[in-house]
Structure 1
């Protein structure tokens, strides 16, 4: 395996699967894969043992799954804050090795518990494995941004998400098969669980050094006060905190389906245990596929425009699943897998479930990537810990709320339909309070569904720090296309008159674009615009300007005005030249007697347009003439 430098990896390798051939990712991937698989092998085998093989008066089968699930998730609520501090303070590769050694000790105890059929010991091991996962979660997500750059973080998260659900699936299947072996099933589970823990420790040995991001951090061992402190820390960045809530809602949403697959298969689909397993397989395949698609659809950037797309798909297919599963005919005995697949009505259910899960993958992976990229490195693991706390609370709430609704007489199909409607409401709320999601979704649709958008030189758009992006002005949607090219938000200076347009005006206000007017016409607007632009750069953000002063009326590059110099005098930052190509003549440009948006589909659909970014210019090299010459050169490429 190679260990390519982070800065060149995005260009040196073709896609996310190539990460599996690199030391900076592969040992980490297999370590987390084996841990997730072992969690589920152990839990599912233990659940089957209690449900089918033991008769315990103090733990009836109907309560076994609930008790095991509650014990496993309890450490996430109690100790996530502490684990986040440890991941920020300590070197991460060494911490992961210590956590895997803890897993070996826990599985050794669990092996003895299976061998002797000691249920209290196994229940204690469920809690301890929850502790193992609580410790591993923050260090897992804090590790990736240290070794993957912005172009790889979405693909890396997609691989981890896919691997986790595949591991869950394989762990459940293996646990069920091993424990079902007559007489010696418990022994087989004990050996397998201990073996997977040892194998996970061996792969962890190859994880490369990952230095501490806050070695001077003083650990607060009080989980209550530290949990509150982590949540307050997460709230400091609104986009990050809303993303935490969005991911937690996804776990609320997914937990309803995962927890009810056995009952759904038996009571609604009239199938046997194999049908319940099939639902888990289909759901896992959907999540994995959606997670892997994120890199391709995002063009190797953190593309949060996929999140609204994912939310729409989750609601649509949850509602259709509700409709498809109502009114299915009852049968005399439970359907076998082949009998179930032989009925056409059931295929609609499976397709709905698969697509629902696929869109959940599109929804969650970009949110995880955004949190990793925008959290401060010094407390990134504590932000992830806050996420785990919220996830656990949302999953507990999911169980309680669903229990109440089902107890009140709601059927499972009705519950799924209600969840689809609730998802639409929650998603709309998140997107309105963090409009960047909607803006990126609009830019995503425009650059992929209306135009065939080709991007060159996007590595010149800075991933951090203040900069001015300077572009030619061809149409009314130039800002949207530039926005689609940047993984970071951009604040644009724009002609104040465009804000009067019905749809685009609302969109640009949502994007917090800065209205500007000629100094002679509106001196107050002019001065306020430059003051706001300087504040944007002072905050380390990106500022976008169109120095021609207006949209071209003949398709030719117009002389650049001197406003850029006024900006650089107050905030001397790098200036990145951009050139929009082949947009003249489209619906949004002024080609019909100086009017735009007159004749739809003038150039058909999926017409080619492009954006070329050039190397940044130092502020002391910038003049309006020099910038115009640079943009003109880029247009000719």
Structure 2
């Protein structure tokens, strides 16, 4: 195995990495600018804030549920690099709509752009993972997957921080510029043609989705891996929805601190993504997944402990970034948040590599697409659950306790995957 960072000097990896990085940066710059605008300038009620965040999350997820089967079929039957270029052209048009929403403070336009970006990510998602085994050697796939995940969360970090620092009007200009740069980097991705003949594309999205998921989930090793990943994304959906109200209403801090939360989370996932590749030395394995997600549950509980200890600001006042940073309990909050994200990255990255290395090369995109369908369903469950809990009066702190319980479910499933597949040639036995 070559050290994973050396892949950044390879044309078979760098343009894809850059395209994904820029897309994730742009996506999160826009979404965070929109969420902060709604949380701090439109709404002044914790339930309404959680509901708006859940609606935005649901709109982003919806295309994954409806269009993933189509995206997987297209990616496995056409040149993946060519599809990426088409997707990146569409991103420019989407960001024109999103920029108009930010400039004119139009919630419908902003939510429309979120829905369209969900469709954009739906078609790009299977490709970014399926193209790796096609361009990288087997010993490089885990490292490449880890770099893609690390780069994604560093991009989330950059977009998240920037959204909290700049005016929405400047954000509108930047999302257009970044979309254009992403279109240029996409043109440098080497060809990735389909391997062999593929069956005709089924345009009936419901039937295609059912067929794809059933064809994938009946394989035990893929069922366990996809279910584990889905638990992770359900947990992530709840956390992303709860973070802004948690910062504003529990830690009584301003929008720059809300950006700091997502920034720390992004850094942690990036660290975990690279760290697990080092621990596994490039071997695709679920060995550390159960311990990682159990540790994640522990750090979530540490966050609830820190929230209970927190001394809020005076009525009507929000802590500034500096005030928050000098609060005596701020280090404990940061430690808990960093721990949640590092262990989360360590949990999920090997599972994605597992999906793309234990199936035939002409089925990788469809396998990832099936995973995305199930993941999106799990995220919808998480988003609906978060809104329901808020509606019946469950506090943000109590919702975090529920997240810790969900982590234990993920640990049980990933333990079954580890027992079934590690130490044997899983692809031959399951």
Report what 1:139 is aligned to: 127
Deviations 1:193-224 (A, max 9, x none): 22111111111111111121354320100110
Aligned partner of 1:305 among 268, 287, 293: 287
Report what 1:387 is aligned to: 371
Report what 1:375 is aligned to: 359
Alpha carbons 2:160, 2:263 under 8 Å: kept? no
Aligned partner of 1:22 among 10, 35, 46: 10
Aligned length: 424
Return the alpha-carbon distance in structure 2 between the equivalents of residues 409 and 108 of structure 1. Answer: 39
Report what 2:114 is aligned to: 126
Alignment of 1:94-173 (within 5 A): 94-115=82-103, 119-173=107-161
**What secondary structure is seen at the aligned counterpart in 1 of 2:131?**
helix
Matching of residue 276 in structure 1 with residue 264 in structure 2:
no
Specify whether residues 400 and 255 from structure 1 end up closer, same or farther in structure 2 by C-alpha distance, changes over 3 A only.
same
Deviations 1:148-181 (A, max 9, x none): 2222111111111111111122222333433x2x
Compute the displacement of 1:73 (Å).
1.7
**What secondary structure is seen at the aligned counterpart in 2 of 1:262?**
helix
**What secondary structure is seen at the aligned counterpart in 2 of 1:381?**
helix
Compute the displacement of 1:72 (Å).
1.9
Measured on the aligned residues, the alpha-carbon RMSD in Å equals 2.4
**What secondary structure is seen at the aligned counterpart in 2 of 1:343?**
coil
Report what 1:206 is aligned to: 188
Deviations 1:105-156 (A, max 9, x none): 2223444555555554443322222111111011111101111222211111
Compute the displacement of 1:430 (Å).
4.3
Deviations 1:3-44 (A, max 9, x none): xxxxxxx3xx4x111111100100000001111111122223
Return the alpha-carbon distance in structure 1 between the equivalents of residues 212 and 29 of structure 2. Answer: 32
Return the alpha-carbon distance in structure 2 between the equivalents of residues 329 and 31 of structure 1. Answer: 43
Query: Which has the higher mean CA deviation after the structures are superposed, 379-388 or 405-414?
Result: 405-414
Matching of residue 360 in structure 1 with residue 344 in structure 2:
yes
* TM-score with structure 1 setting the length: 0.63
Return the alpha-carbon distance in structure 1 between the equivalents of residues 333 and 229 of structure 2. Answer: 25
Alpha carbons 1:150, 1:301 under 8 Å: kept? no
Return the alpha-carbon distance in structure 2 between the equivalents of residues 90 and 190 of structure 1. Answer: 33
Report what 1:218 is aligned to: 200
Deviations 1:518-570 (A, max 9, x none): xxxxxxxxxxxxxxxxxxxxx9569xxxxxxxxxxxxxxxxxxxxxxxxxxxx
Compute the displacement of 1:374 (Å).
0.7
Alpha carbons 2:29, 2:160 under 8 Å: kept? yes
Report what 2:296 is aligned to: 314
Query: Which has the higher mean CA deviation after the structures are superposed, 36-45 or 139-148?
Result: 36-45
Structure with the largest fraction of helix: 2
Query: Which of the two has higher C-alpha Rg?
Result: 1
Return the alpha-carbon distance in structure 1 between the equivalents of residues 283 and 331 of structure 2. Answer: 35
Return the alpha-carbon distance in structure 1 between the equivalents of residues 313 and 42 of structure 2. Answer: 30
* TM-score with structure 2 setting the length: 0.91
Return the alpha-carbon distance in structure 1 between the equivalents of residues 165 and 36 of structure 2. Answer: 10
Deviations 1:576-631 (A, max 9, x none): xxxxxxxxxxxxxxxxxxxxxxxxxxxxxxxxxxxxxxxxxxxxxxxxxxxxxxxx
Alpha carbons 1:154, 1:294 under 8 Å: kept? no
Alpha carbons 1:90, 1:215 under 8 Å: kept? no
Structure 1, gaps ≥5 residues long: 1-9, 441-482, 490-538, 543-637
Return the alpha-carbon distance in structure 1 between the equivalents of residues 331 and 96 of structure 2. Answer: 43
Alpha carbons 2:309, 2:329 under 8 Å: kept? no
Specify whether residues 226 and 397 from structure 1 end up closer, same or farther in structure 2 by C-alpha distance, changes over 3 A only.
same
Structure 2, gaps ≥5 residues long: none
Structure with the largest fraction of strand: 1
Return the alpha-carbon distance in structure 2 between the equivalents of residues 357 and 283 of structure 1. Answer: 5
Report what 1:337 is aligned to: 321
Return the alpha-carbon distance in structure 2 between the equivalents of residues 109 and 389 of structure 1. Answer: 26
Report what 1:404 is aligned to: 388
Report what 2:78 is aligned to: 90
Higher relative contact order (CA 8 A, sep 6+): 2
Deviations 1:352-396 (A, max 9, x none): 110111011110001001111012222211111111111111111
